[in-house]
A and B are shown apart, each in its own frame.
Chain A
Amino acid sequence: MIGAAGDGSELGARLRERDLSAAPAVLNLLESSSPPAREQAKALLAAVSPAALGGEAPGQIVGVTGPPGVGKSSLLSRLVGAWRARGRSVAVLAVDPTSKRSGGALLGDRARIEVDPADRSVFIRSTAAGDRLGGLAPATRAAAAALSAAFDVVVIETVGVGQSETEVADVADTVVVVVQPASGDVLQFLKAGIMEVPDVLVVTKSDLGRIATRAVADLRAALRSLGAGTAVVAVSSVAPGSGIDELVDALDAHVAGLDLTARRRAARRLHALDDFVAEHGERGLRALGGRREAEKWLAEQDPGLDVPALLTALERRAAVS
């Protein structure tokens, strides 16, 4: 029973058949670090790779981030409701900051996302961010890729502003940053380039009236001056409230206007290289002829390969494995 690795390719097959009940076991496997589990995880990811699926995974991957206390969770509760009303299945990966000293973490986010517990088409998993800078749990990227084979929507929720949206941008098709009306920080961060421009910006608590209207106008003006095509949506924080359907539409519109294949392919290459550097360091990178060389070489590889397969290819090329 140690490691409880499970059968990776069988789990992958269940995801391909859009069996949502496979999700907990998929996450258990992807979060495991024992060598047999790592092997099974590779098999799982290969089984849901674009090559195996005959194209990119159908699910839409949405990253949601923003400073603590802006109402991300209540926004998510209602967003999940809106997706469900349109008949879509939803997986939420909530990433919580870890308490560094002990290694333990209090995962409280799912508490605030209110869903019907009997609804089997909603899956919520909370994960500690681990030691990774920027906030994403190591398994989150892999989980998002795997679950997007089965779920219509996969949400990655993280806390913070200025850094987390960059990490999320590397994984998600669409990045949503959530802010509340009176927070001038975001405006400053955007102008100063500290924060990457999100695909969709949500202003919560639109029931604050004039303050919210003003915030939306300011953000729109700032984004225009940066030449960004970011949609700005104001959402009420009081149920049933307004703005949620507009937000779902804005997310759909963003994906529709996206070269999804190119974006995901680039993301996979980036991850493979990140993982390679994490494992083999600068020395490994030098063996590949430097970062730019490695990127160029990756671009020539089979676009249907998943991240572990690309990593293995890199290792073979650098002759470090």
Chain B
Amino acid sequence: MAVMADVPSPRLPERDRPWLMRTYAGHSDATRSNELYRRNLEKGQTGLSIAFDLPTQTGYDPDQELSRGEVGKVGVSIAHRGDMRTLLDGIPLDQMNTSMTINATAAWLLALYIVTAEEQGVAEDKLQGTTQNDILKEYLSRGTYAFPPGPSMRLIADTIAYAVRHVPKWNPINICSYHLQEAGATPVQEIAYSMSNAIAVLDAVRERVPRELMGSVFGRISFFVNAGVRFIEEHAKLRVMAELWDALGRERYGVEDEKLRRFRYGVQVNSLGLTEAQPENNAYRIALEALAVTLGRSARARAIQLPAWNEALGLPRPWDQQWSLRLQQILAYETDLLEYADIFEGSKVMEGLVAELVDGAREEMQRVAELGGAVDAVDYMKASLVESHRERWRRIEAGELTVVGMNRFTSTEPSPLTADAEGGILVVDAQVEADQRAAVERWRAERDQKAVDQALAELARVARDDTENIMPVTIAAARAGATTGEWAQTLREVFGEYRAPTGVGEAAAVPSEAVAELREEVERVSEALGRRLKFLVGKPGLDGHSNGAEQIAVRARDAGMDVVYEGIRLTPSQIATSAAQEGVHVVGLSILSGSHRELIPAVLQALREAGAGDVPVVVGGIIPEADADALREAGVAAVYTPKDWNLNQMMRDIVALVGERHGVDTAAPA
């Protein structure tokens, strides 16, 4: 028995408390989202995670041109404090822990939250939650940026400096590695780029707070990570991040308190690997990915939100999200997961994986540092991500990477889950946009205009004066009744606007037999046309998810086409003007935000007006079958969805389409 005494008990003296359970939710307007939140809380969700629509995320009001088709689509539309009040009605903010996926306009949404709490009689120092507030990954992947890097970093630094003093329980920034993985990052890239990003943020804040506050600043920085289906390696990745974060605090920022150096993260597991084919399989993928972030106690998530099984099909319904919440609850309350100390402690395999990733990540961090840090290395990181994503896609196409139901084991029975009229997804009421436009006009008419003008003038003044923190005037503008679009427009006028690099120009051509065949066909058709086949890849609307469009642009280039790709956030008339002026033979449009029903017909109309109505248009994105029919009827030549994952096949179709329109004989599509 003496021997036994030396072995520590594998059981914890007390079962761990579960992580915060959230569901990334919100759609249409504040009223409908508020109902959804209350229902979710009743079901045992322990925190809120607010999904805002793209106009709110990029700083436009529902009645602005770029908002067309996007209002209330991927999240809730919040234009002013009245909307925020409705959204959080009946939810006591002194008890709630709220995560807001908001970046370019994070300072503004935090201000609206603070003002709403004020109206509820809750002081700001009681508030708990998170603003995502990470702009670099918006440039790299997600695309909801508004201002250039310099002013954006200042906004971030200001919110952190303000929060540390006045909203001390708030996480003012969530450094995101999540979207890097969605953009194709390898584990090493995910670790290295997010750590480099954190360094850029901390360095910027260091300039704006007294030295003695740096410890609490460091302690308030949290991360938002991803977990893919390779869940053992993914878990190792998190242990690496914890290790590097601790070292960074100690070495670079001199943080002595160990507690403040603890790596805290929330997670949304991988969406990149979710398939449209046999979508029910995604439920298993999500469960395995959840293990990556919960299995090892020393690198366990503080907050988890899981995607729904049908996200590659369209927007999830409340029931789909409930199914994912139940998975978290089973993991936390039914299994014995929370009863043990770290189960990987002493594992040779885990130690080996960690050592490998630490070395790789340190090397890559060094490279970013040599380029002048994360802000200056955006171009490099973006190009590297496009390259990694391309390699991943190549492996899927070559069958080197198995995706069950997609490139292997593809024969299937019809799924009863998608059998209903809408195909098993949520369809946002088309009336929402019109209602929101009218509502924001009413709001403007009824408020004290003089107070708003004054507040915005103050905002502009502080924006120009780099030495003053922008949060107090932002809160004042929120209180006065300014709108999201007005706040952002005021800053756009001072800071200017920005277009992030597309990363596609640097992508190297990778030789492959399939592409070589394709290239011959492109040459043949180009010769018959008299000039090189020219293809415009466009992203209309506010959707910033450009990974798909980038891969298509690169593949078309590799196939020998001249490709015009202008990046994200274009209006239909911009796309039509480009198509006409560039003399392209075909236009490809990519939309993942669900705004295709409004925006695609608008592009077709604009093309006709620009005299390019005869140029064939193909569309790709998350497009439900019912909508695809309508688009084809409106004149779209072809519709591609995530189940059309073979890019070479898509290219062959496009070449054949151009050939057909110009009376050129083309090889029969394989």
| Contact between A102 and B582, CB atoms less than 8 A apart | no
Q: Does A24 contact B (CB under 8 A)?
A: yes
Which of B496, B502, B562, B663 contacts A104, CB < 8 Å?
B562
User: Which residues of A are found within 8 Å of B530, using beta-carbon distances?
Assistant: 2-5, 32-34, 37
Segment from B70-78, B318-326, B394-402, B521-529 that makes contact with A: B521-529
A179–B519 CA distance with the chains assembled, in angstroms: 37
Q: Does B571 contact A (CB under 8 A)?
A: yes
B161 to chain A, nearest CB (A): 24
A125–B583 CA distance with the chains assembled, in angstroms: 8
Q: Does A239 contact B (CB under 8 A)?
A: yes
Q: Does B563 contact A (CB under 8 A)?
A: yes
A91–B234 CA distance with the chains assembled, in angstroms: 52
Q: Does B580 contact A (CB under 8 A)?
A: yes
| Contact between A105 and B496, CB atoms less than 8 A apart | no
Q: Does B22 contact A (CB under 8 A)?
A: no
B584 to chain A, nearest CB (A): 10
Q: Does A315 contact B (CB under 8 A)?
A: no
A118–B532 CA distance with the chains assembled, in angstroms: 27
A28–B561 CA distance with the chains assembled, in angstroms: 15
A73–B511 CA distance with the chains assembled, in angstroms: 32
A123–B578 CA distance with the chains assembled, in angstroms: 9
Segment from B90-98, B354-362, B549-557 that makes contact with A: B549-557
| Contact between A103 and B509, CB atoms less than 8 A apart | no
Task: Kindly identify, within residues 67 to 108 of chain A, every residue whose CB is under 8 Å from any CB belonging to chain B.
Answer: 99, 101-108
Given the known interface contacts A4-B662, A28-B531, A108-B505, the answer about A117 and B577 at a Cβ–Cβ threshold of 8 Å is yes
User: Which residues of A are found within 8 Å of B528, using beta-carbon distances?
Assistant: 2-3
Q: Does B311 contact A (CB under 8 A)?
A: no
| Contact between B502 and A111, CB atoms less than 8 A apart | yes
Q: Which chain A residue has the least Cβ–Cβ distance from B558?
A: A102
B501 to chain A, nearest CB (A): 9
Q: Which chain A residue has the least Cβ–Cβ distance from B550?
A: A106
User: Which residues of A are found within 8 Å of B531, using beta-carbon distances?
Assistant: 28, 31-33
| Contact between A105 and B578, CB atoms less than 8 A apart | no
Interface size on A, residues (CB 8 A): 38
| Contact between A106 and B509, CB atoms less than 8 A apart | no
| Contact between A118 and B554, CB atoms less than 8 A apart | no
Q: Does A146 contact B (CB under 8 A)?
A: no
| Contact between A28 and B583, CB atoms less than 8 A apart | yes
Which of A102, A107, A108, A123 contacts B559, CB < 8 Å?
A102
Q: Which chain A residue has the least Cβ–Cβ distance from B507?
A: A106
A115 to chain B, nearest CB (A): 9
Q: Which chain A residue has the least Cβ–Cβ distance from B553?
A: A106
B394 to chain A, nearest CB (A): 15
User: Which residues of B are found within 8 Å of A31, using beta-carbon distances?
Assistant: 531-532, 583
Given the known interface contacts A21-B611, A111-B566, A112-B499, the answer about A104 and B523 at a Cβ–Cβ threshold of 8 Å is no
A103–B504 CA distance with the chains assembled, in angstroms: 16
User: Which residues of A are found within 8 Å of B563, using beta-carbon distances?
Assistant: 104-107
B586 to chain A, nearest CB (A): 14
Q: Does B564 contact A (CB under 8 A)?
A: yes
A3–B556 CA distance with the chains assembled, in angstroms: 21
| Contact between B565 and A102, CB atoms less than 8 A apart | no
Q: Does B86 contact A (CB under 8 A)?
A: no
A11 to chain B, nearest CB (A): 13
A1–B509 CA distance with the chains assembled, in angstroms: 32
Q: Does A148 contact B (CB under 8 A)?
A: no
User: Which residues of B are found within 8 Å of A3, using beta-carbon distances?
Assistant: 528-530
A128 to chain B, nearest CB (A): 5
Given the known interface contacts A32-B531, A99-B509, A238-B496, the answer about A106 and B565 at a Cβ–Cβ threshold of 8 Å is yes
| Contact between B574 and A128, CB atoms less than 8 A apart | no
Given the known interface contacts A3-B529, A108-B504, the answer about A103 and B523 at a Cβ–Cβ threshold of 8 Å is yes
User: Which residues of B are found within 8 Å of A99, using beta-carbon distances?
Assistant: 509, 557-558
A103–B525 CA distance with the chains assembled, in angstroms: 13
Binary contact readout A110-123 vs B (1 if CB under 8 angstroms, 0 otherwise): 11101001100001
Task: Kindly identify, within residues 229 to 250 of chain A, every residue whose CB is under 8 Å from any CB belonging to chain B.
Answer: 238-239
Binary contact readout B510-538 vs A (1 if CB under 8 angstroms, 0 otherwise): 01000100010011000011111000000
Task: Kindly identify, within residues 318 to 343 of chain B, every residue whose CB is under 8 Å from any CB belonging to chain A.
Answer: none
Which of B553, B562, B583 contacts A27, CB < 8 Å?
B583
A110–B578 CA distance with the chains assembled, in angstroms: 8
| Contact between B554 and A106, CB atoms less than 8 A apart | yes
A195 to chain B, nearest CB (A): 24
Q: Which chain B residue has the least Cβ–Cβ distance from A100?
A: B509
Q: Does A318 contact B (CB under 8 A)?
A: no
Q: Does A124 contact B (CB under 8 A)?
A: yes
Q: Does B567 contact A (CB under 8 A)?
A: yes
Q: Does B228 contact A (CB under 8 A)?
A: no
A4–B496 CA distance with the chains assembled, in angstroms: 42
A107 to chain B, nearest CB (A): 5
A279–B578 CA distance with the chains assembled, in angstroms: 33
Q: Does A206 contact B (CB under 8 A)?
A: no
A31 to chain B, nearest CB (A): 5
| Contact between A24 and B560, CB atoms less than 8 A apart | no
21 A–B contacts from the bound complex (CB under 8 Å): A1-B662, A2-B662, A2-B663, A3-B530, A4-B530, A21-B611, A24-B580, A28-B531, A31-B531, A31-B583, A99-B509, A99-B558, A102-B519, A104-B532, A104-B560, A104-B561, A106-B554, A107-B565, A110-B582, A117-B576, A118-B577
11 A-B pairs besides A23-B581, A103-B522 with CB distance below 8 A are A2-B529, A3-B530, A4-B530, A25-B583, A28-B531, A31-B583, A111-B567, A112-B499, A117-B578, A128-B562, A239-B496
Q: Report, nearest first, the 10 A-B pairs whose CB atoms are least far apart.
A: A111-B566, A32-B530, A34-B530, A104-B557, A117-B577, A3-B530, A104-B560, A117-B574, A28-B583, A31-B531
Question: Residues on A close to B: CB < 8 A?
Answer: 1-5, 21, 23-25, 27-28, 31-34, 37, 99, 101-108, 110-112, 114, 117-118, 123-126, 128, 238-239
